[in-house]
C-alpha cells in the first residue's frame, strides 16, 4: 500500500511539474499563431505586453491570456487608438495545442477585462473599426484559419465604449459596462442566457437625450444560426429605476438588420415616471407618495440599413397624477402628460414628436405647455405654446434638486411660437412667428461670469414675429443698479441653439460699479499673497453677448475713480467691448474716451485713446496711477492739465493696466499752472546745486510736451521753460519704477554768475558784454525719490571768465593800438623843428599807457608778467613801430 501511494505521489508530482513546464514549451508557438492571425486578418497595429499559457488556472482546460492589448489604427485614422484592454483570456481543450499548423484551434470561452473601445466615423464616412483586410482572389476555404470559436461562456467586465459620428453629430458614451453570456453556438439552434448593465449618455446635434442613464438587461435569447435570427424571450430591462418588459427579435441581413420589438412598463403607478429620471436627480423614490397612473409603451418594426430605419411608435401617458416627497413641504398636482415620438415611413426625416399635453399645478399656480416637433434630424420644425405661472422658489420645495443657489422669482408666460431651426441659426427672422408676453419678477440670477448675483426686480418681454421687445428691465448687482429697454433679435436662438444673444439696448444707471461685475477665479497654487484669500478677481465679458448698448450713468466707479455724467456707446461682441464717444466729468474737467477692451484671451488686453480737458492736476495725480507713472513730476504743480493719450497693453487681475506691458504716446499741456511749495527730493537737490533760480517762480503757463512710452520707460521730447531771462531746455526719460535720467540746460546770462564775474564785466565796460550768456547743464539720475543732481556750473563760470578776459585783452589791445597810431600820426606829421623834449614827453605818455595795460593784465591773469602772449604781442608791435620811427628820423 505504501508503495502504491509512493508511486501515485511520484506520478502526481510529475503531472504537476508537467502542467507547469509544458506551457513554456507551447507558449512560443501560441504567440506565433496569434501574431500570424492578427497580421493575416487585421489592417491595424496590434501590440500586447505579454502572452501566457496555463494548464492550472482553468484545469482541465488550457488557458491563454494577453496582457495590455492595444489596437492602433492606420490611415485615415493614423495613430488613433481603437481599443485597449488590460487583459483578454481564452480557454480551450488541451488537445488543441497538439494540432498541426493547418488545423484551427477551437476557443471555448473568452473573458475581457477593463476594455476601452472608441468607434468613430469621420465626415468622409470612414469608419475606424473597418480594420479587417479585404479578401483576395483565393477563397476563404483555401486560407488557413488559426483560430475557430465554439463559445460556451464569455464575459466583459468594467469596460467602456465611446461612439463618435461626425456626419450625424452623434456622440454616445457607455460606461461601467458589464456583460456576460452562457450557452453555445455550436448547434444550429441554441439558447443564450445574458446579463447586462451599463450607464449611457447620448447627444445628437448638441441635444442631450440621455445623461448617464442606467440600463439593466436580463435576457434569454434563442439563437438560430441558419437564419441569423436572435429572438428575445423572458426579457426584463430597467431604465434608471423604471422596469420594462420586452419581446421580439433581431435578424441579421446582408445590408443591415431586421428588428421587431415591443415593450412596455409592467406597472402603471405614476412612481414609474419618477423612475425615468436618473437617480442622481430623483433620489430615492420608495417613500414618495403618488396618485394617478403612468404608462410607457412602444414598438420598433422594420429594417435598419444605410438608407432606412425601423418604424416606431413610443408613447407616454399620464392622467390626474400627483407626487410629493416625504421630506419636502409641497407637492405637484393635476399632472397630465400625453407625449409620443413616432415614425411611420422608415425614413429618418419623417420622425416627429408630439407633446400634446404637459400640465401641472403647484399651490395655485397652473402651468400648461404643448409642443409639436417635426423633421427632427434635419431642419427641425417647432410649434409650441406655453401658458401659466411658475413660482421658481417652489421647485426646490417639491423636488429634491441640488442647487448651488436658492431659486426665487415669479415667471409668467403667454407665448405662442412657430419656427424652423434653420431660421434661428441664419437669423431669418421673417420665418419666426411668435406672439405673446412673458415677465419675470423677484428673480436672482447666478453666473460664473458675475461676482455678485444679478437681482432682477422686474423684466417684461413682448414676443413679436422675428424679434422680442424688452419693455422693462430693472436689476441690481452689488451696489450697482441697471435699467434697460431695447430689442432682442434672437432670443430663441440663444435658448435653443446656443447662439449669441443679439440686440440693441438703452441702459441707464444711477451707480455703476465695475467691481460688482468681477468674477472670482481660484489660483492653481496659492502664493504668500493668496494664502489667506485664495480668490482673485478678474472681469470677463460674457461670450454670449453680441449687442449695442447706449449707456448713461450718473456715477461710474472704476478702481478709485469716480466718473460723473457718463454717456457713450458700448459695442459688445466676441468677448470684446468697444467704447465709442464715451464722455465723463472727472477731476473738475472733461474726459473723452474711445477704444476697446478684450477678455477673450487668458490675459485681458486694451487699446484706448483718452482726451482730457482741464483736469485738476492735484486730483488727477492722486486718482490716476497711469498719470503718476507717465509724469511723476506733475505732482509738484498746481493748475489745469490738457492731455491726449493713446495707450495699449495688458490688464491685470484687478482689470487695471499692467504698466510693464503698456506702450503708446501722450501730449500734455499745462494751463494756469504754478509750482507748489513741496519738499520733494528733486527740488531740494536742484536748489542745492543751482542757486540762481527760484524753481517755484518758473513760468509754467502753456507748457506743452510730447511723451513716448514702452517697456516700462517714458521718453520725453525736448521742451523749454522760462525763468525771467533764463531759458531752461529739458529732455530725457524716466521709468515706471521711478528711475530718472534727465538733462536740464540753463542758458544763464553772465550777470547771474557771481560778484567776481560782475566786477570783471564792470571793468570791461562794454554793453555787449552785459548780454553774454553761457549754458549750464544739470544731469539728473538715480531714483525720483532720491535723485542725484550734477551740474557743470564751475567749469561754465571758468569758461566765462576766460572768455571775458579775452574780450578785455582784445579791448585793451585795440585801445593801445589806437593810441599808438595817434602817436605815430602826430610824430610823422609834426615839424622836424620840434624840440626833443616834446618827443620825450610823448614817449613817456605811451610808456605809461603800456604800464597801465600790463598792470591791469597782471591783476586778472595768473601767468607770468613777462611771458604773457598779449604783453609780448603789444611789446613787439610797439618795438616794431618805434624801430621804424627811429629809422625814419635817422633818414
Predicted pLDDT at 139: 46
Residue 816 lies in a domain: yes
Residues 510 and 638 occupy one common structural domain: yes
Residues 583 and 515 occupy one common structural domain: yes
Domain holding 862, by residue range, is 793-890
> Mean pLDDT, to the nearest integer, of 210-226?
84
Residue 870 has pLDDT above 80, yes or no: no
Between 25-34, 406-415, 754-763, the lowest mean confidence (pLDDT) is in 25-34
Among residues 740, 773, 804, the one where a domain terminates is 740
Hey, which of 414-428, 510-524, 844-858 has the most confident mean pLDDT? 414-428
| CA gap 241, 276 in Å, rounded | 6
Residue 828 has pLDDT above 80, yes or no: no
> Mean pLDDT, to the nearest integer, of 815-829?
58
Residue 261 lies in a domain: no
Residues 698 and 566 occupy one common structural domain: yes
Residues 671 and 815 occupy one common structural domain: no
Residues 811 and 715 occupy one common structural domain: no
Residue 376 lies in a domain: no
Predicted pLDDT at 535: 43
Residues 547 and 638 occupy one common structural domain: yes
Query: What's the grid cell of residue 53?
Result: 499559457
| CA gap 276, 282 in Å, rounded | 9
Residue 364 lies in a domain: no
Complete DSSP assignment for 305-328: -SS---EEEEEEEEEEEEEE-TTS
Predicted pLDDT at 299: 94
Average pLDDT, the chain: 77
Residues of the chain above pLDDT 70, percent: 72
Residues 800 and 728 occupy one common structural domain: no
Residue 888 has pLDDT above 60, yes or no: no
Q: What is the pLDDT of residues 696-744, one digit of tens each?
A: 677 677 778 888 888 888 888 888 888 788 888 888 888 888 888 888 8
Residues 552 and 627 occupy one common structural domain: yes
Residue 435 lies in a domain: no
- Say if pTM beats, i.e. exceeds, 0.75: no
Residue 862 lies in a domain: yes
Residues 818 and 690 occupy one common structural domain: no
Q: What is the pLDDT of residues 106-136, one digit of tens each?
A: 777 888 899 999 999 888 888 888 887 765 5
Predicted pLDDT at 856: 43
What total of structural domains would you count in the chain? Answer: 2
CB 720 within 8 A of CB 704: no
Q: What is the pLDDT of residues 632-642, one digit of tens each?
A: 776 667 777 78
CB count within 10 Å of CB 718 equals 12
Residue 668 lies in a domain: yes
The answer to whether the Cα torsion of 265, 266, 268, 269 is positive or negative is negative
| CA gap 231, 209 in Å, rounded | 28
Q: What is the pLDDT of residues 64-99, one digit of tens each?
A: 788 888 888 888 888 899 889 998 888 877 666 666
Between 7-11, 456-460, 732-736, 779-783, the lowest mean confidence (pLDDT) is in 7-11
Predicted pLDDT at 775: 84
Residues 540 and 626 occupy one common structural domain: yes
Among residues 706, 723, 740, the one where a domain terminates is 740
Residues 559 and 663 occupy one common structural domain: yes
> Mean pLDDT, to the nearest integer, of 765-791?
78
Torsion of CA 511, 514, 517, 522, to 10 degrees: -150
Residues 823 and 885 occupy one common structural domain: yes
End-to-end CA distance of the chain: 178
Among residues 725, 740, 755, the one where a domain terminates is 740
Predicted pLDDT at 550: 92
Residue 368: pLDDT band by 50, 70, 90 thresholds?
A: very high
Chain centroid offset of residue 273 CA:
43
CB 116 within 8 A of CB 56: no
CB 509 within 8 A of CB 484: no
Residues, the chain = 891
Residue 852 lies in a domain: yes
Amino acid at each position: 500500500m505504501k508503495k502504491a501511494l509512493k508511486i501515485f505521489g511520484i506520478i502526481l508530482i510529475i503531472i504537476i511539474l508537467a502542467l507547469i513546464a509544458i506551457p513554456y514549451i507551447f507558449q512560443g508557438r501560441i504567440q506565433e499563431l496569434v501574431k500570424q492571425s492578427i497580421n493575416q486578418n487585421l489592417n491595424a497595429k496590434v501590440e500586447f505586453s505579454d502572452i501566457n499559457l496555463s494548464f492550472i488556472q482553468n484545469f482541465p482546460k488550457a488557458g491563454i491570456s494577453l496582457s495590455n492589448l492595444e489596437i492602433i489604427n492606420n490611415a485615415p485614422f493614423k495613430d488613433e487608438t481603437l481599443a485597449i484592454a488590460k487583459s483578454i483570456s481564452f480557454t480551450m481543450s488541451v488537445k488543441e495545442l497538439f494540432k498541426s499548423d493547418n488545423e484551427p484551434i477551437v476557443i471555448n470561452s473568452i473573458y475581457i477585462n477593463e476594455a476601452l473601445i472608441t468607434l468613430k466615423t469621420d465626415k468622409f464616412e470612414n469608419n475606424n473599426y473597418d480594420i479587417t483586410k479585404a479578401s483576395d482572389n483565393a477563397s476563404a476555404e483555401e486560407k488557413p484559419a488559426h483560430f475557430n470559436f465554439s463559445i460556451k461562456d464569455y464575459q466583459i467586465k468594467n469596460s467602456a465604449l465611446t461612439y463618435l459620428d461626425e456626419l450625424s453629430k452623434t456622440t454616445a458614451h457607455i460606461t461601467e459596462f458589464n456583460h456576460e453570456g452562457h450557452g453555445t453556438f455550436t448547434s444550429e439552434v441554441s439558447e443564450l442566457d445574458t446579463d447586462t448593465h451599463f450607464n449611457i449618455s447620448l447627444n445628437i446635434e448638441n441635444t442631450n437625450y440621455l445623461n448617464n442613464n442606467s440600463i439593466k438587461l436580463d435576457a434569454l435569447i434563442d439563437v438560430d444560426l441558419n437564419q441569423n435570427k436572435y429572438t428575445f424571450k423572458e426579457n426584463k430591462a430597467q431604465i434608471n429605476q423604471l422596469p420594462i418588459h420586452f419581446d421580439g427579435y433581431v435578424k441579421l441581413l446582408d445590408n443591415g438588420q431586421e428588428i421587431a420589438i415591443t415593450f412596455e412598463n409592467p406597472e402603471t403607478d405614476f412612481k414609474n415616471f419618477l423612475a425615468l429620471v436618473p437617480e442622481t436627480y430623483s433620489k430615492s423614490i420608495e417613500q414618495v407618495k403618488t396618485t394617478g397612473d403612468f404608462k410607457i409603451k412602444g414598438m420598433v418594426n422594420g429594417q435598419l440599413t444605410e438608407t432606412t430605419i425601423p418604424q416606431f411608435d413610443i408613447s407616454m401617458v399620464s392622467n390626474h397624477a400627483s407626487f410629493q416627497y416625504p421630506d419636502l413641504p409641497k407637492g405637484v398636482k393635476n399632472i397630465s402628460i400625453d407625449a409620443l415620438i413616432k415614425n411611420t415611413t422608415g425614413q429618418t426625416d419623417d420622425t416627429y414628436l408630439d407633446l400634446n399635453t404637459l400640465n401641472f399645478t403647484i399651490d395655485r399656480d397652473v402651468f400648461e405647455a404643448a409642443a409639436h416637433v417635426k423633421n427632427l434630424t434635419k431642419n427641425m420644425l417647432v410649434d409650441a405654446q406655453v401658458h401659466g405661472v411658475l413660482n421658481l422658489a417652489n421647485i426646490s420645495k417639491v423636488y429634491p434638486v441640488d442647487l448651488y443657489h436658492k431659486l426665487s422669482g415669479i415667471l409668467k408666460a403667454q407665448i405662442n411660437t412657430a419656427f424652423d431651426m434653420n431660421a434661428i441659426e441664419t437669423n431669418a427672422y421673417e420665418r419666426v412667428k411668435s406672439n405673446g408676453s412673458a415677465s419675470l419678477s423677484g428673480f436672482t440670477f447666478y453666473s460664473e461670469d458675475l461676482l455678485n448675483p444679478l437681482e432682477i426686480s422686474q423684466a417684461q418681454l413682448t414676443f413679436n414675429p422675428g424679434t422680442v421687445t424688452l419693455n422693462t428691465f430693472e436689476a441690481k448687482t452689488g451696489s450697482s443698479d441697471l435699467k434697460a429697454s431695447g430689442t432682442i433679435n434672437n432670443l430663441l436662438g440663444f435658448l435653443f441653439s446656443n447662439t449669441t444673444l443679439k440686440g440693441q439696448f438703452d441702459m441707464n444707471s444711477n451707480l455703476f460699479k465695475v467691481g460688482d461685475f468681477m468674477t472670482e477665479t481660484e489660483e492653481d497654487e496659492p502664493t504668500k499673497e493668496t494664502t489667506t484669500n485664495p480668490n482673485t478677481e478678474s472681469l470677463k465679458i460674457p461670450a454670449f453677448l453680441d449687442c449695442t448698448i447706449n449707456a448713461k450713468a450718473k456715477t461710474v466707479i472704476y478702481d478709485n475713480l469716480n466718473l460723473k455724467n457718463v454717456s457713450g456707446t458700448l459695442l459688445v461682441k466676441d468677448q470684446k467691448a468697444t467704447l465709442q464717444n464715451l464722455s465723463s466729468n472727472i477731476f473738475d474737467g472733461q474726459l473723452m474716451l474711445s477704444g476697446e477692451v478684450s477678455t477673450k484671451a487668458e490675459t485681458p488686453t486694451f487699446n484706448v485713446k483718452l482726451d482730457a480737458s482741464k483736469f485738476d492736476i492735484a486730483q488727477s495725480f492722486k486718482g490716476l496711477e497711469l498719470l503718476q507713472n507717465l509724469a511723476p513730476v506733475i505732482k509738484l504743480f498746481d493748475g489745469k492739465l490738457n492731455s491726449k493719450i493713446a495707450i495699449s497693453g495688458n490688464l491685470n487681475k484687478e482689470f487695471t493696466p499692467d504698466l510693464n506691458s503698456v506702450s503708446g504716446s501722450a501730449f500734455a499741456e499745462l494751463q494756469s499752472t504754478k509750482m507748489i511749495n513741496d519738499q520733494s527730493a528733486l527740488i531740494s537737490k536742484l536748489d542745492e546745486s543751482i542757486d540762481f533760480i527760484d524753481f517755484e517762480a518758473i513760468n509754467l503757463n502753456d507748457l506743452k510736451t510730447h511723451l513716448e512710452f514702452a517697456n516700462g520707460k517714458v521718453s520725453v521730447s525736448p521742451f523749454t521753460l522760462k525763468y525771467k531771462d533764463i531759458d531752461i531746455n529739458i529732455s530725457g526719460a524716466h521709468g515706471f519704477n521711478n528711475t530718472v535720467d534727465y538733462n536740464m540746460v540753463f542758458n544763464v546770462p553772465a550777470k547771474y554768475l557771481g560778484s567776481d564775474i560782475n566786477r570783471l564785466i564792470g571793468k570791461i565796460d562794454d554793453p555787449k558784454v552785459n548780454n553774454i550768456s553761457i549754458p549750464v547743464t544739470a544731469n539728473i539720475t538715480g531714483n525720483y525719490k532720491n535723485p542725484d543732481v550734477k551740474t557743470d556750473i564751475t567749469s561754465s563760470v571758468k569758461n566765462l571768465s576766460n572768455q571775458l578776459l579775452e574780450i578785455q585783452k582784445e579791448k585793451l589791445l585795440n585801445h593801445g593800438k589806437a593810441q599808438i597810431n595817434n602817436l605815430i600820426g602826430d610824430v610823422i606829421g609834426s615839424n622836424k623843428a620840434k624840440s626833443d623834449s616834446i618827443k620825450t614827453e610823448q614817449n613817456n605818455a605811451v610808456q605809461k599807457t603800456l604800464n597801465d595795460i600790463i598792470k591791469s593784465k597782471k591783476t586778472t591773469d595768473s601767468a607770468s608778467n613777462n611771458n604773457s602772449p598779449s604783453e609780448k604781442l603789444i611789446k613787439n608791435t610797439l618795438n616794431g613801430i618805434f624801430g621804424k620811427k627811429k629809422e625814419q628820423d635817422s633818414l
